Amino acid sequence: MILDYYCTDHEIVCCRACISDKHRLCQNVLPLELASNDVRKSALFNDVMEDMTHLITTLNALDNNRQSNLQSIEKSKSTITKQIRAVKSKFLKQIDDLERELTTTLSSLQRKHEIEINKQKQEISQVLVNVIENKNEMDFLSDHGSKNQLFIFLRQQVTNIHSPEVKIQQIVSDSQEFDITFDEKKDVKLKSFGSLSEYVQQCQVQYKPRKCQHAQIKAEPMKYIIGFEKNTGLKLKIGETYALQDVTVTNDNKLLITNAASSDTKLYVYRDCKDYETEITFSSAPHCVAVIPGTDRAVITLHNEKSIQFINTTKMTKGDTVNVGFLCFGIAAGRDRIYVGGQGGIIKTLDTNGTLLKTIEQGSNCIFFMVYNDLQDQLFVRYHDKLLCIKLDGTLLYSKDVSGVAGLTLDRQRNIYFGDFGTSIIQRMSSDGENYEEMLNQDNDINRPYGMCFNNDFTKLFIINNRHESVSVFKCK
């Protein structure tokens, strides 16, 4: 039937049959002619037109974004193809160099043995000529000489024949049979020139309904850290003895640094991550510190007391102390859980009030540092010479051999940054443990690094450096 009515109660266009069936109790049913008066001047007309224009603009921007992405991938393919060919050329050059080296060595060995053998052939020829001459003379005397002559010659040869015998024995003794063989390496395999990595980020075009946001904007892309630039180091408080262990940043951008020096067992606080503000003194040396996300609370480990202690990061006052029953060093925190690790590979899970929920035994080595990956619900655990990734139930996902002991931290994409106290380097590893690269080393003034952390917007990296005595600051590029 013809749609000739409009029910304002239900905001729907309807026909006469619908009115009698579904809109009998509605008080605001209008004829379509009345409802449509001045529709071209109505706010509804303007809203719908603007919505459509908004949709068209967004779709065009999205289409342009997709086209740009296709072009970017094509450009990347061309660049990577050239890189692969360059790597191939390097390998072929190495193969040619190896061939020349083997050929040169072969020629050298051949010449050496030829000289020695030819020298022995000359000696053999000289002895052979002398023996043949004597043989011919004896044949002649046997046929044409007298008995006396033959007897005299034979007596001479009894004496003379000893000399070639000695020479022959010497030649035989000195002679060796030479041969040259080629031992081909059967297990030579070129498995890969390199590897390809995919980096995925959210499309920069976002859509929000026009009524929520009238101007379509591009989303700020998630910045990927490509390197670091040395910044001015943190100016530490003068007159203190330092054995710095760990560093972290609070939700209101305060830098917390633990000091385990026996004369200054403290937690230092630097506002805006640069200026000294205050300090908290503890009864024993603190090791690691972690901020509970979304709160004004932090928690530290006091390994000598087998305890953890809470801190109010707004007032910078000490809170409750909880005995965890073992020597504890590493600590990490999520929004509703605290994870404490230490001696014997033990990890204890507590709620944010310090109540024990679960105990995990992960190996037998001491856990010095921990960090919680909130995106995958995983823990990264640092032993001496080992870096482990485990699930929250203790299941081991993977283990990596690393050198020494130093701190851990995560960037925005949840890549793992870990230090090496022994070789003075900082490395970055993807969260799946497949790819890692060296980011900082002694050329960047890294010297025996330990604890480390990023600030809240991931623009700076703070590293306890120089054998626990300073805090170096690096700008992220």
pLDDT of residue 207: 63
Q: pLDDT of 54-111, one tens digit each?
A: 888 888 888 888 898 899 899 989 998 999 899 899 989 988 998 999 899 999 999 9
Q: How far apart are CA 448 and CA 359, in angstroms?
A: 32
Residue range 156-174: mean pLDDT, rounded: 83
For residue 332, what pLDDT band results from cuts at 50, 70 and 90?
very high
Q: pLDDT of 385-398, one tens digit each?
A: 899 999 999 999 99
- Asked if the model's pLDDT at residue 45 lies above 70, the reply is yes
DSSP string, 454-477: E-TTSSEEEEEETTTTEEEEEEE-
Residue 42 is classified by DSSP as S
pLDDT of residue 62: 87
- Asked if the model's pLDDT at residue 228 lies above 50, the reply is yes
pLDDT of residue 222: 54
Between residues 207 and 175, which one has the greater pLDDT? 175
Which of the listed ranges 157-161, 196-200, 222-226, 431-435 does the model predict with the highest average pLDDT? Answer: 431-435
DSSP string, 430-459: -TTSS-EEEEE-GGGT--S---EEE-TTSS
pTM recorded for the entire structure: 0.56
Residue position matching structure tokens 């485990």: 390
Q: Distance between the two ends of the chain, CA-based, in angstroms?
A: 67
pLDDT of residue 31: 79
Residue range 2-16: mean pLDDT, rounded: 85
Q: Which residues of 390-421 are buried (b: 16+ CB within 10 A; e: fewer)?
A: bebeeeeeeebebebbbbbbbbebbbbbbbbb
How big is the chain by its Cα radius of gyration, in Å? 43
- Asked if the model's pLDDT at residue 141 lies above 80, the reply is yes
Q: How far apart are CA 293 and CA 214, in angstroms?
A: 33
Residue range 185-196: mean pLDDT, rounded: 71
Q: In this structure, how many other beta carbons lie within 10 angstroms of the beta carbon of residue 159?
A: 8
Q: In this structure, how many other beta carbons lie within 10 angstroms of the beta carbon of residue 98?
A: 10
Helix 43-144 × helix 147-160 angle, to 10°: 140
DSSP string, 213-244: -SS--BPPP-PPP--EEE-PPP-PPTT----E
User: In this prediction, what percent of the chain has a pLDDT beyond 70?
Assistant: 94
Cβ neighbours of residue 231 closer than 8 Å, sequence gap 6 or more: 460, 473, 474, 475
Tell me what the pLDDT averaged over the chain comes to.
88
pLDDT of residue 330: 97
Q: How far apart are CA 269 and CA 279, in angstroms?
A: 6
Amino acid at residue number 253: N
Domain boundaries, the chain: 5-37, 87-174, 228-476
Q: How far apart are CA 86 and CA 92, in angstroms?
A: 10
pLDDT of residue 223: 75
- Asked if the model's pLDDT at residue 10 lies above 80, the reply is yes
For residue 217, what pLDDT band results from cuts at 50, 70 and 90?
very low
Top-level CATH class of 228-476? mainly beta
